[in-house]
Amino acid sequence: MQLTFHIWRQKHKDTSGAFNTYTVDGLSADMSFLEALDVLNEHIIATTSDESVAFDYDCREGICGTCSLVINGIPHGGGKGKSGVTSCQLHLRAFKDGDHVTVEPFRARSFPVIKDLVVDRSAFDRIIEKGGFISVNTGSAGDANATLVSQKAAEQAFDTAACIGCGACVASCKNSSAMLFVGAKVTHLASLPQGQVERSQRVKQMVEAHDKEGFGACSQTKACEAVCPKDISAHSIAQLNKEFLRATLAAK
């Protein structure tokens, strides 16, 4: 199998970048996309004077969300028949022999390029630091059935807790909004009894941090929902707005 890769090359955030084109033979349809990039780097080292392409990865099992790439214009390369996957779980059988594949970093002002396909997503970490956890002393772990949680609340918490913070929602949004990410974190903790103590404080601080980091506002196009590798629903954005309104009114 042969693919032609159009890869974004950029030394760092203060330099301009451009696409470089490489054609690679001997690829297998059973390879993951990151395995194909490994083969591409071997090809670059063996046949050109270019540096190998820098890209992020960790688990390569669709768990961590580190492998954040825009493939053919779509974050993680998802689309019809290929949704719900991270870049590392996208396989070359999604492409045809001879295809041209464009690979770019996640593009957002709040995600500056470090090098090539690697971006700095520490803005998400700073949002989490403002309240995306439970810091109050909840005591030692009790029996599993000691604290009653309704089925609806449990399902909502589980669904939103699936967010891996990859940033695909930001990369797909025309406003570079991270509201799906913040909404998932806020909804997850607001659904559980342990999250009630800091509920109002949490949502206000996380929304403030979101805006401070330069992320845009949500315009309800649901592009974020379409590319989320964990299928987080845009309903969590509506829930975030409810939580923020509730906290704001409670403070008056």
Same domain, 26 and 45: yes
Same domain, 139 and 50: no
State the pLDDT confidence band at 241, using cuts at 50, 70 and 90.
Answer: very high
Q: How many structural domains is the chain composed of?
A: 2
pLDDT digits (tens, 9 = 90+) for 1-43: 999 999 999 999 899 999 999 999 999 999 999 999 999 999 9
State the pLDDT confidence band at 194, using cuts at 50, 70 and 90.
Answer: confident
Nearest CA to 199 out of 238, 129, 137, 250 is that of: 250
- Report, as an integer, the average pLDDT of 200-215: 96
Same domain, 188 and 208: yes
For the record, the structure tokens of 76 come out as: 């993680």
Residue 83 has pLDDT above 70, yes or no: no
Q: What is the CATH number of the domain that holds 61?
A: 3.10.20.30
Q: In whole angstroms, give the CA distance from residue 214 to residue 122.
A: 13
Q: Which residues pair with 24 in a beta bridge?
A: 3
Same domain, 156 and 209: yes
Select from 84, 115, 146 the last residue of a domain: 115
- Report, as an integer, the average pLDDT of 38-59: 96
Tell me if 2 sits within 8 A of 98, measured CB to CB: yes
Same domain, 25 and 62: yes
* Range(s) of the domain holding residue 91: 3-115
Same domain, 185 and 213: yes
Query: pTM (2 decimals)?
Result: 0.91
Q: What pLDDT shows up at residue 79? A: 54
pLDDT digits (tens, 9 = 90+) for 133-179: 888 776 777 776 778 889 999 999 999 999 999 999 999 999 999 99
Same domain, 27 and 105: yes
Q: What is the CATH number of the domain that holds 134?
A: 1.10.1060.10
Tell me if 176 sits within 8 A of 215, measured CB to CB: yes
Please state, for a pLDDT cut of 90, what percent of the chain lies above it.
Answer: 85
Q: What pLDDT shows up at residue 144? A: 65
Same domain, 126 and 77: no
Select from 115, 147, 169 the last residue of a domain: 115
Same domain, 94 and 21: yes
Q: In whole angstroms, give the CA distance from residue 199 to residue 132.
A: 10
Tell me if 170 sits within 8 A of 108, measured CB to CB: yes
Residue matched to tokens 């890209």:
55
Q: In whole angstroms, give the CA distance from residue 77 to residue 104.
A: 11
State the pLDDT confidence band at 80, using cuts at 50, 70 and 90.
Answer: very low
Same domain, 130 and 241: yes
**Coil, strand or helix: which one is 236?**
helix
Same domain, 51 and 158: no
Same domain, 127 and 237: yes
DSSP 29-79: TTSBHHHHHHHHHHHHHHH-SSPPPP---S-SSSSS-----EETTEETT--
Chain mean pLDDT for the chain: 93
Select from 60, 87, 115 the last residue of a domain: 115
Please report the beta strands in the chain, taking only residues with DSSP state E, as ranges in sequence order.
3-9, 18-24, 70-71, 74-75, 100-104, 113-115, 118-119
